[in-house]
Structure 1
């Protein structure tokens, strides 16, 4: 009975706050509860809410939580503030312990660590990415997965007139690809049967991370302690994912100990690329080195190196695989609403790829040259990333008090949040047509790709922490886009999709499509 009274009072209070909110559309700072009511009311549409607030507050707004919490958020999309925090004063701004707590499912990976630990991760990753054969290795792996997985599934659903969730297909494609690159293991989740796979459960539960940003820390920690609701779902999903990763780590270590793990040729018949997968390189080079992991290992059956590998791999799935699949989904959604853009991309592809028709080996070997010529496709991908950045948020806190270029003071108790989704839709940054999908905004009068500074187009972050996998992401997206656009017509069933309020900006609902061979389906 008392429980129902409390719920009734809370709902009544939220309704009162809604009708007596600040008339300028900005959150009201109420006594005792601060601006929490506005956040709770808009939790289901937090990104659109951010756009509204940024438009009405000159690109920056200070959110204050209840008096009994340490909730002090400064939300901004001002490019000068981004440049200041991410580049000019990089040493003074860190992710911080609070964000590390919020992102604890991803451990001590590169995504949410600072200082020595972050630098260690970055150096390990750079040694892999900077391998002279890595780019060709990545192109080869991606193409083979497209050829042996994506094309087979698309042909199957096309032949049998099966409606399919294209977003799910892209998640499977990138999950398998990243598994091969990182762990030397193909889970074959992208196959005609579409079997279940562990990464999908983690992505489905990722909106819990956003809830942790909005809720006072004491509340979400209490829910985690109770092991209920979304916190329980996230915990269960991570258990499945961790078991999968640790199983592959143990398998690879056993192969190395038995002398069976050697540098592999991806294609024994036409040897093109030889490179150790990340997991092999790390185990062989670091078996006796204690990685500087800062948190306790929750899995007593694995040593610190296994924990480091688990955190690194999970972060690469987040920063690479899941973001690329999300970007591809929004790209195909946007071009499906703009058939004239599909025709322009197809015309560009035909001019460049026809000489290589039915010559896969030549396609792989020359993809660097091909990629640089795909100007309109690159522009369309940039435009899709601007409107739907796969990771909508970037968080920082200052080590020492500072003054932002906007004039706002910040201190170690201030959590600065950059919202990339809102930033891409600001008229003051991108012009009055900011909500339109216009690849032309990325092309110069001379027909080249137009450069935008990273603090304006901050999808890949900026400064020293700029994404090392940027080239890999664009390359993989171009390969997938080129194959699909040249060979298939995608008919989207639902014309209006909205993003999910999760850590990754996936589509909230399934991206249902029908697939037709391009040669037999007339496109208006």
Structure 2
């Protein structure tokens, strides 16, 4: 965790409060939502072009790698006003150098903001942090800002890309769910067959938020394949849990979202089934669960501040992929977890891609 420095994942006390307060304000601003929607529309277009290349060439595609590039590009553009052009580079991003690139990018972004402040439009997250002062009234240091950048890159890339990847994998095994998502996308986005060129412009905030079944499928994916499989916190005071468990001050408390998401005592006898319908109200609206039951985005004061933005991004990308393409896992490719801070697919998700519309 030392790699994350003083960023929000690693911070506690006043340090965490400062970052949380700043980020919550920024994520609640309508201007950021509009900016993010425009970025996602642009990046979805780039994503489709990359996937379409594989479909036309008949080459095997590592969908997880492509989605990592998509989410990395999106978070850097939305959060810091930086374009990486990850999806349009011939070779994309290689896993081995991702952190080095993120670290170098963080240093570069912070330095350029200080050297050329007038050039940057204050519509992103980093701009907000650069105007903040610490408890002593001093501007935040370069190192502190670098840690902020690295933490938000980490939060905005692996988690969302992993969720979309695992959902596509589940859809290859649950065709009836894929068909229902496709039907919803076509109705809500007002698309006929073979109108992929119109899709990106249809991904408005208002329309994307109405994709209830797609959000249910993503939530079901995160229940079974949480991006952060477990987490831990240290008790600042002694307490008693609802079941009577005594917690002493300084105790390390660990919970495992992966296990909780598969427990019959929490989710019922069909807990191991991929069933998006459990997230829908009788009228078809999306039905949210308690954040203490569905812990993929944590809960309480540590609730993920980017949850709504993440769903907007994931739904936009997933809608484009499902509308335009069919995916099939390469025969013989073994899909299994890679144990890490997040829980990606080890060796990626290798798929054969075909255009849905001739």
* TM-score in terms of structure 1 length: 0.63
The alpha carbon displacement at 1:194 in A equals 2.3
SS at match of 2:285: coil
Match among 501, 508, 521 for residue 339 of structure 2: 501
Query: SS of the residue aligned with 1:396?
Result: strand
SS in 1 for 2:30: coil
Cα distance between partner residues in 2 of 1:107 and 1:139:
30
Q: Which residue, out of 171, 175, 187, partners 1:339?
A: 175
Counterpart secondary structure, 1:519: coil
- Which 5+ residue runs of structure 1 have no aligned equivalent? 1-102, 204-236, 264-274, 293-302
Q: What does the per-residue CA deviation read over 1:378-412, in whole Å, with 9 as the maximum and x for residues that have no partner?
A: 11111001000101112122223322222222223
- 1:104 is matched with 2
Determine which of 418, 429, 436 is the counterpart of 2:273: 436
Instruction: Between 104-113 and 240-249, report the one with greater CA deviation.
Output: 240-249
Specify whether residues 409 and 183 from structure 1 end up closer, same or farther in structure 2 by C-alpha distance, changes over 3 A only.
same
Whole-Å separation in 1 of the counterparts to 2:175 and 2:208? 22
Corresponding position: 1:388 with 2:225: yes
Larger radius of gyration: 1
CA RMSD of aligned residues (A): 2.3
Are the aligned partners of 2:31 and 2:123 in contact in 1 as well (CA < 8 Å)? no
Return the alpha-carbon distance in structure 2 between the equivalents of residues 402 and 185 of structure 1.
44
Aligned to 1:139: 37
Q: CA distance change for structure 1 residues 452 and 280 in 2, over 3 Å: closer, same or farther?
A: closer
Measured in 1, the distance between the counterparts of 2:125 and 2:303 equals 21
Shift of 1:505: 0.8
Structure 2 CA distance, aligned partners of 1:383 and 1:361? 25
Which of 411, 433, 436 lines up with 2:248 in the alignment? 411
Of residues 175, 178, 183 in structure 1, which corresponds to 2:72?
175
**2:350: which partner in 1?**
512
Q: What are the Cα deviations for residues 181-208 of structure 1, in whole angstroms up to 9, with x where unaligned?
A: 22222112212512345xx3477xxxxx
Q: Kindly indicate whether residue 25 of structure 2 is the aligned counterpart of residue 117 of structure 1.
A: no
Q: Identify the match of residue 476 of structure 1 among 309, 313, 317.
A: 313
Q: 1:480 to 1:241 in 2, by over 3 A?
A: closer
- Give yes or no for the alignment of 1:348 onto 2:348: no
Tell me by how many angstroms 1:371 deviates. 2.4
Cα shift readout 1:315-358 (whole Å, capped 9, x = no counterpart): 11222221001111101111111111111111111112225955
Match of 1:363 in 2: 202
Distance 1:359 1:163 in 2: 26
Offset of residue 166 of structure 1: 0.5
1:315 aligned onto 2:168: no
Is 1:424 the counterpart of 2:261 in the alignment?
yes
Taking structure 2 as the reference length, what is the TM-score of the superposition? 0.91
Find the counterpart in structure 2 of residue 249 from structure 1.
110
SS at match of 2:269: coil
Gap regions ≥5 residues in structure 2 = none
> For residues 157 and 362 of structure 1, do their structure 2 counterparts lie closer, same or farther at Cα, with a shift above 3 Å needed?
closer
Give the drift of 1:245: 1.3
How far did residue 491 of structure 1 move? Answer: 1.6
d(CA) in 2 for partners of 1:361, 1:150: 11
Give distance in 2, aligned partners of 1:159 and 1:308: 45
Cα deviation for residue 441 of structure 1 reads: 1.0
Q: 1:454 to 1:139 in 2, by over 3 A?
A: same
